[in-house]
Structure 1
Amino acid sequence: MKTNRHIYIYSPASAVRDKAAFRRGVARLRALGHDVEIDEAALAVHQRFAGDDATRLAAIGRAAASGADVALISRGGYGLTRILDALPYKALAKACERGTAFVGVSDFTALQNALLAKTGAVTWAGPAVGEDFGAEPGADDIMQACFDDLLQGQGEGTGWRMPAKDVGDAAALPRPVRGATLWGGNLCVLTSLLGTPYFPAIDKGVLFLEDVNEHPYRIERMLEQLRLAGVLARQKAIVLGQFTGMRKIAGYDRGFGFSSVVERLRSQIKVPVLTGLPFGHVPTKVLLPVGAKVEVAADERDVFMVWGHGPLHAGHGHEPHGHPHAH
């Protein structure tokens, strides 16, 4: 099976500030034998962005026209929300149909969900060049294995173990969720799309969420906005990834943290809330097909999510192909 792939690297959001990490990421991908093509504006800078809006729109268009196996963002940050009403949705959807996998994280949530809302096209929540492939200690093994599975067309699902304190909630998923659309991403970015044409109208889906550098009360406030808008109650499951870099406010947040947020969320909705998904602003991240149909099942602390062709049976020690448990 062909293992070397054409990877197109572009910058649709914030400017690349850590050029050393960018260069390391490109070098590591090339060392794996891939044909890495770098967009002409990948290192452009305009204010905080990787070029002005027109420059980044053109870069997205070139990524869609590249014919690459994977279109990989250099980094996230902020910038895609500004240009959602000008994205080349038809070109992006056609590129997805032709086999280009658009992969990204963080601010990329805006493009992914807007594209899903407008066209139904499937993209991938996954790594970025700088923070993941360019990480100074090296690329995370699990992230690399998941990315390799995508490149080889072998990825069928993932599995993980919920934190021990959440073991009791596995009973809230008494039977597998089947045929549900997987969607979501960064909580802050997704919430900012609420009420716009770029927020997917997904009923009976599996909504996954993550965030970074937010106070616990801000996380709860965004979750409450989604709850009060009726979004959460319409899902079959809520899956929480990694919420890192949380900052508590001295004198205010004593006794109130992320666990308090999760506990309240579970008390407010009847939808199962699963935790511990290895995805977010962390080195160990799996790749997730945003917009694809998935099955989810839990066996005590073990959670399995499958989007491949095989049936999922909880409780039979099944481990999706190519993806070791990520804790």
Structure 2
Amino acid sequence: MTSLTLFTPAGALAKAENLKRAARRLGQLGFDVTVDADALARHQRFAGDDATRLAALHRVADAAPSVALATRGGYGMTRLLDQIDWDRVARSIEHGTRWVGYSDLTALQNGLIARKKGLSMWAGPLACDDFGRSEADGGVDEVTRDCFLEAMSGALEAVGFRAPTAEFDGLEVRGRLWGGNLTVLCSLLGTPHWPKVKGGVLFLEDINEHPYRVERMLLQLQQAGVIDAQAAVLLGDFSGAAKSPLDRGYGIKDAVGALRSRTRTPVLTGLPFGHIRTKVCLPVGATVEMFVQGREAILGWQSDARLAHHHAHDHDHAHH
């Protein structure tokens, strides 16, 4: 059975019942679930003080379960970045641990990329958001669940999505996949935790940020030379912001247009990722290839199953 540990590295959980529900459902999906001792800890808005959350992160790394799934995002990873023992985290990955999450976990994922070549984590669901949702609120999304199961078994090697237009028909790119939440990523710029990726595939998403704020962050990355240095940019979901009477028709499409007019890097929209119910899993830090045919884009990578013979110590028990 595949071991899975639930831990809370950032914001505090509002309700214990969502965690219990997530643990039960993940158990029903075939995982041997462990809940970290401090998963429900609270200090102000955080899941315990910084020392508590750092200890939890290192505890999970040392245990090296098959899957290390964050319960939620929120805010808090940034406080830990200077203190994380990245070698311990790297060792867990080398032993087969798949770290999974998104939103605030962007800081952890890109901090790793900044330091360790050839290692990757998974941008994917969060336990309470995606597996702890009550049936009254819609329950578990089937696509999200199935993509997660395939990724955690080591078999997932591609995801597909449809762009709104065929303007990038024939595009082929190859590079290191990185990125995540736009606000969190921008907060790393100029720090030791910033991944200096050239020729990569940068994916971005955000929630509750007005389109002008999204545009400002995108242009910050472009003016810093980041966007122009990539092979491609993939934009996920950017919903949740209230419209302003000052917008007068201005929206996220205009923000994207402002970026496109300033860079030669292909900027594709429609990636099914972000603070939405249906989300794919993406190997952050892995080398990916993308092919676009008409409006259909395929993002592919070498699956763990094909890489397994390189990892004599891989202790993933998912292939029963």
Gaps of 5+ in 1: 310-327
**Residue aligning to 1:323:** none
**Residue aligning to 2:308:** none
1:163-197 superposed Cα distances (whole Å, 9 cap, x missing partner): 3xxx14324xx33112x000000000000000001
1:203-241 superposed Cα distances (whole Å, 9 cap, x missing partner): 000000000000111000100110110000000000000
The alignment status of 1:199 with 2:197, answered yes or no, reads: no
1:18-69 superposed Cα distances (whole Å, 9 cap, x missing partner): 3222221111001122110010000000000000000000000011011210
Given that residues 64 and 93 in structure 2 are in contact (C-alpha distance below 8 angstroms), is that contact kept between their aligned partners in structure 1? no
**Residue aligning to 2:98:** 101
Residues of 1 paired with 2:302 and 2:173: CA distance? 14
Cα offset, 1:285, TM superposition = 0.5
**Residue aligning to 1:65:** 62
Residues of 1 paired with 2:278 and 2:171: CA distance? 28
Cα offset, 1:246, TM superposition = 2.1
The alignment status of 1:182 with 2:177, answered yes or no, reads: yes
CA RMSD, 1 decimal: 1.0
- SS of 1:6's equivalent in the other structure is strand
1:229 to 221, 224, 230: 224
The alignment status of 1:284 with 2:278, answered yes or no, reads: yes
1:85-140 superposed Cα distances (whole Å, 9 cap, x missing partner): 00110000010011000001100000000011011321000011100011222211
- SS of 1:242's equivalent in the other structure is coil
The alignment status of 1:262 with 2:256, answered yes or no, reads: yes
Residues of 2 paired with 1:249 and 1:74: CA distance? 33
The alignment status of 1:248 with 2:246, answered yes or no, reads: no
Q: What one-letter code is carried by the residue in structure 1 that aligns with 2:231? A: K
Which runs of at least 4 in structure 1 moved beyond 2 Å after TM superposition?
Answer: none
**Residue aligning to 1:144:** 145
Cα offset, 1:300, TM superposition = 1.2
Given that residues 161 and 302 in structure 1 are in contact (C-alpha distance below 8 angstroms), is that contact kept between their aligned partners in structure 2? yes
**Residue aligning to 2:44:** 47
Q: What one-letter code is carried by the residue in structure 1 that aligns with 2:207? A: V
- SS of 1:244's equivalent in the other structure is coil
- SS of 2:148's equivalent in the other structure is helix
**Residue aligning to 1:160:** 161
Gaps of 5+ in 2: 304-320
Moved more, 135-144 or 64-73: 135-144
- SS of 2:100's equivalent in the other structure is strand
Given that residues 169 and 272 in structure 1 are in contact (C-alpha distance below 8 angstroms), is that contact kept between their aligned partners in structure 2? no
Given that residues 169 and 274 in structure 1 are in contact (C-alpha distance below 8 angstroms), is that contact kept between their aligned partners in structure 2? no
The sequence identity of aligned pairs, in percent, is 50
Q: Give the alignment's TM-score, normalised by structure 2.
A: 0.91
- SS of 2:161's equivalent in the other structure is strand
Residues of 1 paired with 2:166 and 2:296: CA distance? 12
Residues of 1 paired with 2:29 and 2:214: CA distance? 38
Given that residues 10 and 41 in structure 1 are in contact (C-alpha distance below 8 angstroms), is that contact kept between their aligned partners in structure 2? yes
Given that residues 171 and 293 in structure 2 are in contact (C-alpha distance below 8 angstroms), is that contact kept between their aligned partners in structure 1? no
Q: Give the alignment's TM-score, normalised by structure 1.
A: 0.89
The alignment status of 1:122 with 2:120, answered yes or no, reads: yes
1:127-166 superposed Cα distances (whole Å, 9 cap, x missing partner): 1110001122221111111111122210101001123xxx
**Residue aligning to 2:18:** 21
Residues of 1 paired with 2:96 and 2:5: CA distance? 13
Residues of 2 paired with 1:18 and 1:282: CA distance? 20
Q: What one-letter code is carried by the residue in structure 2 that aligns with 1:257? A: G
Distance 1:266 1:94, change over 3 A: same
Residues of 1 paired with 2:63 and 2:202: CA distance? 30
Residues of 2 paired with 1:170 and 1:266: CA distance? 13
**Residue aligning to 1:170:** 168
